[in-house]
Amino acid sequence: MSACLICIGSNDHRKENLLLARQNLYALFPSIYFATEMETEPLYLKNTARFSNQVALFVTAMEKEAVVNALKEIEIKAGRRPEDKTAEKIPLDIDLLVYGNEILKPKDLRREYIQKGVEELGTLLAREEVGE
């Protein structure tokens, strides 16, 4: 079993697409935990549409490549298309940041909203262990 940390983001139909992501992720990974959804400014984009972002943690027996493929399928369900990249329209982006002991996106992990989400998940899991 491998612990996975992901970040979900959207700047197009944000609420609907994050809801779709959460529903699909729950179906795939029933033990998933989500941090609070956060609104952020776009990074490295000319499009000024704000983003909704959310960090989540789950454990899976799936191989890393299978997890990545499953996340891409959810993005496609939300309407993500290759041509949206040039328009900087991101219906849904789900990044696998950590898989087991492997940090896949170290730069992303340094982002403030991701650090806040990770901290919140740590607090949530600690409370659950104590039985609060």
pLDDT at 92: 95
- pLDDT tens track for 92-107: 999 999 999 999 999 9
As a whole number of angstroms, the distance between CA 105 and CA 97 comes to 5
Number of domains in the chain: 1
What's the rounded Cα separation, in Å, for the pair 127 and 87? 42
Q: Which amino acid is at 125?
A: L
CATH of residue 69: 3.30.70.560
CA distances from 62 to 14, 20, 86 (A): 28, 21, 32
What count of other Cβ atoms lies within 10 Å of the Cβ of residue 120? Answer: 16
- Longest CA–CA separation in the chain, Å: 47
How many Å separate Cα 128 from the centre of its chain?
Answer: 21
pTM value > 0.85: yes
Query: Which residue range(s) make up the domain with 21?
Result: 2-130
